[in-house]
Amino acid sequence: MAEPPREHALDEMVEPVVPSRFRWLARLLDAGPGARIVDLGCGTGAAFDAILSSLADPSAGSVIGLDSSVEALRTTGRGLAPWPATARLLIQADLNAPLPVADAAADRVLCHNVLECLPDQDALLREAHRVLRPGGKLLLSHSDFDALVFACEPGDLALTRRLVHAYCDTQQAWMDAVDGTVGRRLVEIVGRSPLVVETVDAAVVLSRRFQPGELGYGYAHNLVSALTDAGAADPAELERWLAGLRRMDERGAFLFSVNDYAVVCRRPWRRHRRPRAPCTSRPGSRQNPGPR
């Protein structure tokens, strides 16, 4: 019998929520009244919060959240509780496998900060195309982890650069692969799929406090545990780095930022057909070369 998937701590996998980040994504998703929305790797449902609050009548539509983590889905379920039970569906699903969603069942699909950990990114895009109705849209967004900025004490600049690059390339226990620079390649990935790129956007997410619940604090601690688990940095050096960030915060000088990239792409209305062959080109007949 197949092993059930291992549960990982939520704060290892899901970033602290920055509401402005998800309001930006909700605007790009542009889900109209009655939209059927699927969130691939919904985590704790932060995107649903923003999307539903952006709709005039949230109860007219429906949402499906897919994630492999039962704990994440439980948290999402609590957030969605005010919605009619018929309009929400949370499914534990592995995004490496065919999605448990019918063909052409969705008006909007979104996927934020999930692609980096999937070994076959193209397969997920093919699945997104399948579940979208013709004309439906996928919002594919991702941070670029090679460009994390931590304002640090002057003596820690080289160390900070080294830690950020090592973090970007480190596969954590909850990931099936690692591709920390995927944010800058979303357009190329969509270009290999049957979807058509409509718009490309970027946003900087800024964090000014080094305190629990803040994005920069979450990333710094995730970096420390990821590099410690991987044996990729000296624990004393990591502790010294965190102490420097705490001092920056005490002086009001702490700053963290991450760049998010977002591609809105559409399932074409019709399949692009090849032009018919001229009727003279029956098997065995000579091809008419046509005008030059």
Chain positions contacting ligand SAM, by CB under 6 A: 13-14, 41-43, 46-47, 67-69, 72, 93-96, 112-114, 117, 176
**Minimum distance from residue 67 beta carbon to ligand SAM (Å):** 5
The answer to whether 111 touches 138, Cβ cutoff 8 Å, is yes
- The contacts of residue 240 (CB under 8 Å, 6+ apart) are 156
Shortest spacing between CB 139 and ligand SAM, in angstroms = 11
Q: Pick between residue 43 and residue 58 the one whose CB is nearest to ligand SAM.
A: 43
Closest separation in Å from C-beta 17 to ligand SAM: 7
Task: State the nearest-atom distance from the C-beta of 166 to ligand SAM, in Å.
Answer: 18
Closer of 48 and 150 to ligand SAM (Cβ)? 48
- Cβ-closest position to ligand SAM: 43
Smaller CB separation from ligand SAM, 218 or 244: 218
For residues 209 and 217, what is the distance between their CA atoms, to the nearest angstrom?
8
Contact, 261 vs 142, CB < 8 A?
Answer: yes
Q: From residue 133, how far is each of 11, 37, 86, 137, 150 by CA, in Å?
A: 34, 11, 20, 8, 42
Looking at beta carbons only, is 219 or 254 nearer to ligand SAM? 219
180 vs 244, which CB is nearer to ligand SAM?
180
Shortest distance, position 174 Cβ to ligand SAM, whole Å: 6
Helix (H) or strand (E) holding 248: helix 235-250
Strands, DSSP E only, in 113-219? 132-143, 149-150, 196-207
Dig out the tokens for 280 from the structure. 């003279």
